[in-house]
Amino acid sequence: MNSIRGRLLLWQISALLLTGLLVSLITYQLAWDAFNRIRDYGLEQIAYSVVRHGVEYDNDGEVRNDRGQFVSQIWAADGSLFYSSLDTGGPPLQPPGLRTLSWHDSEWRVYSLKEGGLTIQVATSLEHRARKFAEIAPWLLIPLAVLVVLLGLLNRAAVGRALAPLKRVREELGQRGSRSLHAIDARGLPDEVAPLVGTLNELLRHLEAALESQRRFIADAAHELRTPLTAVKLQARLVALADDPDERQAALEQLAQGVDRAAHLVDQLLGMARLEPEANGQGFEPVGLHELAKRAVGDFSSLAEARRIDLGVGACEALTLPGQPRNLRVMLDNLIDNALRYIPAGGRVDVDVLRDGGTAVLMVSDDGPGIPEADRERVFERFQRLAGADIPGSGLGLSIVRQVAFIHGGSVRLDNRPGGGLRVMVRLPMAVQVPPAGMMK
C-alpha cells in the first residue's frame, strides 16, 4: 500500500483493534471477578437466611428444590448431616468461610457458617457459574464493538479532512502550465504542508524564470539571426546578378563576411546555451590559468597580426585553480576577441594573470575607445551592443564572460585603463565557491 491515507487508516484501525482487544480482556476479567464476588456474597446470604428462617418445605412435605443453582446442607453439632438439597448428600463439610474444592470431578465454591450448634453450608458449581456468565458476557462487548466502529468512522473522516490540503495542493499543481507557473496560495495550510508548498513555490519561481529566460533568449536569437541571414541572402543575389568579374569578386567577399558573421553568432549562441545551469554538466578540475591564457594569446596572435594589433601576455603568475577548462577558455576567447574587434589598427591588448590573496585575477586591457561608465552594466546583457557601434558582433561576448565567472563563483568588472582604453578584470576564487543556481543569469 503506497497511499498515505491507506497507511494512516491501517495504522489507526490496527491500533484501535489492538486497544479494543486489550480493553475487552481487561473488561472480561474485571466483570468475571465482580460476578464471582456477587455469587460468593449470594452464598453467604443464603446461609444466613437459612439461619434466620430455617428450612422451608413444600405442601407435600418435601424439601424445596434449589433447581440446580446451588446445594444447601445442614450438619448437626455431632457432625451428622441433618439436611441436604441433594439426595447424594453434596460436598463434604468444610471449615467456616469461603472455600474452593473439587467434588465429583468438578470445581465447587463453598461457604460454611457455624451458628447455634449447626453448620450451614451452601455450594455452587464453578461450571454453572461459567455458563451463567457466558450468557451475559456478549452484552458486555456490544458497547465496545459500537465504540470501535464509531471511532473507525471518525478516524476515516479525520484522516480525509487532514489530507484535504494535500488534495488542494495537487489540484492547484495540476492547473499549472508553462504559461501559468504562479505560486500556490499557502495560507491556511498545516505546518507540515506549508514548508513543502514553500519549496514548490520556490521551484515554480525558478522554473518560470528559466522558461522566461529561454523564451527571451529564443526570441532574441531569432531576431539577431534574421539580420545576418537576410544579408547573406541579399549578397548571394548580388553575386548571381554580377556580370563584371570585379563586382562578382567584391560580392563574394561580402557574402563570405556575412557567412562569417552568421557563423560567429551561431557559435556564440551555442556557447551561451552550453553555459545554462541545466546544460552545464562539466565538473571542476585543477586548471592552470596562466597556461590557459598563454594558449589563448597564441591562438589569436595570427588574427592580431593581420589587424596590426600588438597582442601579448604581461604579468603572468603560475596559478592553478579548480574550474572547467573548456568554459574558462571560452571566457578568455571572448575577452580577447572583443578587445581585437573594438580597437583600431596599431592598438595594443595585454593579458595579465595575477594573485590577490586567495583570488586569481585575470585582466585583459586594451587602448581602444573604452566603454562609458553609464553603459558598463548594460553591455553584460544578452544581445546588447553600444548604440552607434558599427563593428560586427553578436552582443553575447561579455554576457558569456559573466556567466562563466558566476559558474566559478567569481565576478567581472569593467574599469578604465590607465592611459585610456578598457580593462576587464575577472576575479576567480582559488577554492571552489559555486554560487546558487538562482544567481546564475
The answer on 140 and 43 residing in a single domain is: yes
Last residue of a domain, one of 91, 123, 158: 158
The answer on 255 and 313 residing in a single domain is: no
- CATH code for the domain in which residue 201 is found: 1.10.287
The answer on 327 and 343 residing in a single domain is: yes
- CATH code for the domain in which residue 108 is found: 3.30.450
Predicted TM-score of the model (pTM)? 0.48
Last residue of a domain, one of 225, 241, 274: 274
The answer to the question of residue 164 being in a domain is no
- Bridge partners (DSSP) of residue 101 are 108
**331 lies in which domain range?**
282-439
Task: Indicate if the alpha-carbon torsion angle 395, 397, 403, 405 is positive or negative.
Answer: negative
The answer on 127 and 249 residing in a single domain is: no
CB 417 within 8 A of CB 365: yes
- pLDDT tens-digit profile of 232-252? 777 787 777 777 787 778 777
The answer to the question of residue 166 being in a domain is no
Indicate the average pLDDT of the chain: 79
Q: At what angle do helices 164-174 and 126-162 cross, to 10 degrees?
A: 30
Using pLDDT thresholds of 50, 70 and 90, give the confidence band for residue 264: low
Per the structure, how many domains does the chain have? 3
Angle 404-405-409 from CA coordinates, rounded to 5°? 120
Exposed / middle / buried, residue 294 (Cβ in 10 Å: 0-12, 13-18, 19+): middle
Q: What was the pLDDT predicted at 440?
A: 43
The answer on 361 and 339 residing in a single domain is: yes
Using pLDDT thresholds of 50, 70 and 90, give the confidence band for residue 55: low
The answer to the question of residue 337 being in a domain is yes
Distances in Å between the alpha carbon of 430 and those of 222, 295, 320, 322, 358?
38, 20, 7, 7, 6
For residue 421, count other CB atoms closer than 10 A to its CB: 21
The answer on 288 and 265 residing in a single domain is: no
- pLDDT tens-digit profile of 339-380? 888 888 889 999 999 999 889 999 999 988 888 887 777 777
The answer to the question of residue 172 being in a domain is no
The answer to the question of residue 168 being in a domain is no
Using pLDDT thresholds of 50, 70 and 90, give the confidence band for residue 427: very high
Q: Cell 449447626, residue?
A: 118
The answer to the question of residue 169 being in a domain is no
Last residue of a domain, one of 274, 298, 324: 274
- pLDDT tens-digit profile of 373-407? 877 777 777 666 554 445 555 567 788 888 888 88
The answer on 301 and 181 residing in a single domain is: no
- CATH code for the domain in which residue 331 is found: 3.30.565.10
Q: Which residues contact 262 (CB under 8 A, 6 or more apart)?
A: 225, 228, 229, 232
Q: Cell 492547473, residue?
A: 175
The answer on 344 and 259 residing in a single domain is: no
The answer on 204 and 146 residing in a single domain is: no
The answer to the question of residue 125 being in a domain is yes
Chain mean position to CA 53: 83
- pLDDT tens-digit profile of 206-217? 777 777 767 766
- pLDDT tens-digit profile of 64-77? 444 556 888 898 88
The answer on 295 and 252 residing in a single domain is: no
The answer on 215 and 142 residing in a single domain is: no
The answer to the question of residue 384 being in a domain is yes
The answer on 432 and 319 residing in a single domain is: yes
